Amino acid sequence: MQQDCIFCKIAAKEIPVQPLYEDEHLLAFLDINPAAPVHVLVIPKKHIANLLDLDKQDQSLMGHMLTAISQIAKQMGLADDGFRVVINTKENGGQTVHHLHCHILGGRSMTWPPG
Ligand code: AMP
Ligand code: ZN
């Protein structure tokens, strides 16, 4: 656990959230400032700052995360119309919380390219 990391605090239940999905390694919950009608964040419970900090040992975790995202998207009713998964990384990616997380965005049509 990294001091002063809000998502570590959420993973440790120091900041309560309503879990949409939880297992030993992952937690999913609603984004506090939704950018779409359905906006879920999926975080690894262990602190990883961003995609650049992944190492070989994280391969199974990340595969597991994508499989969980598929399940959560179905659970949230996004399977028929589709959805977007985003991982913002550092400044140019628009990352504001430096604990790796996937955004699942759905419930409306997305534009491309993103802003
Ligand atoms: P990013 O800009 O990719 O780092 O995304 C961070 C996301 O975390 C933003 O969409 C915020 O709205 C969201 N967020 C920050 N604090 C909380 C919180 N306490 N609970 C839920 N979502 C949060
Ligand atoms: Zn953290």
Enzyme catalytic residues = 101
pTM: 0.98
How far apart CA 115 and CA 103 sit, in angstroms, is: 15
Domain count, the chain: 1
State the residue range of the domain holding 38. 6-106
SS (H, E, C) 36-47: CCEEEEEEECCC
Residue pLDDT, tens place only, 41-100: 999 999 999 999 999 999 999 999 999 999 999 999 999 999 999 999 999 999 999 999
| 31 pocket-lining for ligand 1 (C-beta < 6 Å) | yes
The answer to the question of residue 114 being in a domain is: no
Residue nearest to atom 16 of ligand 1 (CA): 32
Work out whether strand 102-106 and strand 38-44 pair parallel, antiparallel, or are unpaired.
antiparallel
The answer to the question of residue 95 being in a domain is: yes
- Whichever domain contains 95, its CATH number is 3.30.428.10
Probe target for ligand 1 pocket from 14, 17, 31, with the most ligand atoms within 8 Å of CB: 31
Residue pLDDT, tens place only, 2-56: 999 999 999 999 999 999 999 999 999 999 999 999 999 999 999 999 999 999 9
- C-alpha of residue 3 to centroid of ligand 2, in Å: 8
The answer to the question of residue 1 being in a domain is: no
